[in-house]
Structure 1
Amino acid sequence: MQLHYREQGQGRPLVILHGLFGTLDNWQSLARRWAEQFCVIAVDLRNHGRSPHSDEHSYELMAQDVLELFDTLGLDGSQITLLGHSMGGKVAMRLALSHPERLAKLVVLDIAPRFSDMRHQDDILAGLQAVNLAQLENRQQADEALAQHIKWPDVRQFLLKNLYRRDDNTFAWRPNLAALTAEMEAIGAEITAETPFLKPTLFIRGGKSDYISTEDKLYHIPQLFPNSVVETVVDAGHWVHAEAPDKVYELVTTFASANY
């Protein structure tokens, strides 16, 4: 599958994978900053953003999509830092563990390799499905429909970035909601491997988030990524890059620039 991407800057490749219901646009502020030192390639994963839709949505397939993009762009695996947030972090882990030769370094934002219970997404799915696209006249109406299920304004604004007007002036969602709803359990799947990823790895967790637990930090992560460090951004939640962009910029820049 040919993924949609945006490339800017020069230098070692820094490839960015967004999370569930995200797009590469969520990363543009940080991508512009990193582009001063790296060749930044922000990616829309399958069933998201402007990338193609598919009924299939698994970490094996998403990792393969990213590898195909590496091939298309002719990227040198000995130079690539792959960064992923949440679902994108699990894609990055799957790729690193299955094809360690294709990466130099790995960065994972606020997700652990263990199974994630996706029931917390039920309200989000209900809110997205409650928006009557056929009768929708403006974004305010969409926000009001989402608010019946999602009380957090910042989450609604994040989701509304996926709403766009088609050529006939009607509204549509960029994510493939049918496929994502059907594959939600697969999105929570555990990332496993018989052989660990031995190259340098940075995990960044939000101090207000429970996506990376103490047990993850002490056991699950070192088991698969023995050459890893876990940095905690104390005042940030799950969207750590949006809540603490300067700290994430600093951590990733230092890690990706270092010679190991």
Structure 2
Amino acid sequence: MARRLCARWHVIAVDLRGHGDSDWSPEGNYGEGVLVRDLLLLLDALAIRRATIIAHSLGANIAMRFAAVFPERMNRLVSIEGLLASPDRLVLVDNTPMRTRLRTWLEETERIRMRVPRHFRSMDEATARMKERNPHLAGERLHHLTHHAVRLGDDGFYRWKVDPMIRKRPPDMSNDALNDLWRALTCPILLLYGAESWASNPGMDGRLGLFANARLRVIEEAGHWVHHDRFEETMREIDAFLSETATVPDQG
């Protein structure tokens, strides 16, 4: 996506903490507030006053929170499957006592910390696992993603770059509070979803109505990794959305 976009735009491809080649948090601190702050500090460090952000999954959720808190820093936002848990799931979490949620998080993070990370004897093994988890991937894109998703350890085994602690973030704000954030978003937003994804479709679960300036596009034959499963269709939607702005985003 970055290669395609940089033909027209100044592109910065970001690895969130604990992802890709960014360092892991020594404390396993991947709370949403911390990740929003990381994004703020990055833009400040690069002297970017306003940006257009394209992000996926957790990254998209963080970008949406950032856009709600700092609307003056945003031009446009492409959120690919960024709302994550369904409203029903969020209500269920809200109805669980905080003491229970906190204890569960502490116990689960300790189990993850003690667990031996998954490893692979070869790139072929890692590629097979990537294919198993993402059946729409194939060809060069499958190998490209696998290559950039693993690192070779001193023991000769390949392991995923992502910190497993990311899967268990601390208890978050309530569903009502999140909805207030989404209502506060003012920049134009493109919500992209895969028709075969596990993620709840905001056009069907009622959340699309929370946004003042958002449109929804559902990509057929795509799962949670919409942009990898149906790259060309995704890029057509993004190109059309970005072309609606008259000027290149201000880079400072």
TM-score normalised to the size of structure 2? 0.69
- What's the CA shift string for 1:70-100, capped at 9, x where partnerless? 11111131xx211111111111111111111
Q: Which runs of 5+ in 1 are unaligned?
A: 1-29
Q: Residue type matched to 1:139 in 2?
A: M
Question: Within the alignment, does 1:104 sit opposite 2:75 as a pair?
Answer: yes
Q: Residue type matched to 2:68 in 1?
A: L
> CA 1:51–1:131 in structure 2 vs 1: closer, same or farther (change >3 Å)?
closer
Instruction: Report matched runs for 1:76-115 at 5 Å.
Output: 76-77=49-50, 80-112=51-83, 115=86
Q: Which runs of 5+ in 2 are unaligned?
A: 91-107, 247-252
Shift of 1:217: 5.0
Whether the 8 Å contact between 2:126 and 2:146 is mirrored in structure 1 is no
Shift of 1:111: 3.3
Matches of 1:212 and 1:153 in 2, distance apart? 18
Shift of 1:234: 2.1
Q: Residue type matched to 2:44 in 1?
A: D
Matches of 2:167 and 2:205 in 1, distance apart? 32
Q: Residue type matched to 1:212 in 2?
A: S
2:33 corresponding residue in structure 1 = 60
Shift of 1:181: 4.1
Whether the 8 Å contact between 1:111 and 1:212 is mirrored in structure 2 is no
More helix by share: 2
- What's the CA shift string for 1:83-136, capped at 9, x where partnerless? 111111111111111111111111111232655869xxx9xx99xx67664xx5
Instruction: Report matched runs for 1:131-142 at 5 Å.
Output: 133=119, 137-140=121-124
What's the secondary structure of 2:17's corresponding residue? coil
1:244 corresponding residue in structure 2 = 230
Larger Rg: 2
Question: Within the alignment, does 1:200 sit opposite 2:188 as a pair?
Answer: yes
Q: Residue type matched to 1:232 in 2?
A: V
TM-score normalised to the size of structure 1? 0.67
> 152, 166, 176: which one pairs with 1:165?
152
Matches of 1:143 and 1:249 in 2, distance apart? 24
| Cα root mean square deviation, aligned | 3.7
1:69 corresponding residue in structure 2 = 42
Question: Within the alignment, does 1:222 sit opposite 2:209 as a pair?
Answer: yes
Q: Residue type matched to 2:160 in 1?
A: W
Whether the 8 Å contact between 1:57 and 1:186 is mirrored in structure 2 is no
Shift of 1:154: 4.0
Q: Residue type matched to 1:191 in 2?
A: L
Whether the 8 Å contact between 1:113 and 1:220 is mirrored in structure 2 is no
Shift of 1:137: 3.8
Question: Within the alignment, does 1:49 sit opposite 2:49 as a pair?
Answer: no
What's the secondary structure of 1:242's corresponding residue? helix
> CA 1:153–1:95 in structure 2 vs 1: closer, same or farther (change >3 Å)?
closer
Matches of 2:127 and 2:116 in 1, distance apart? 10
1:253 corresponding residue in structure 2 = 239
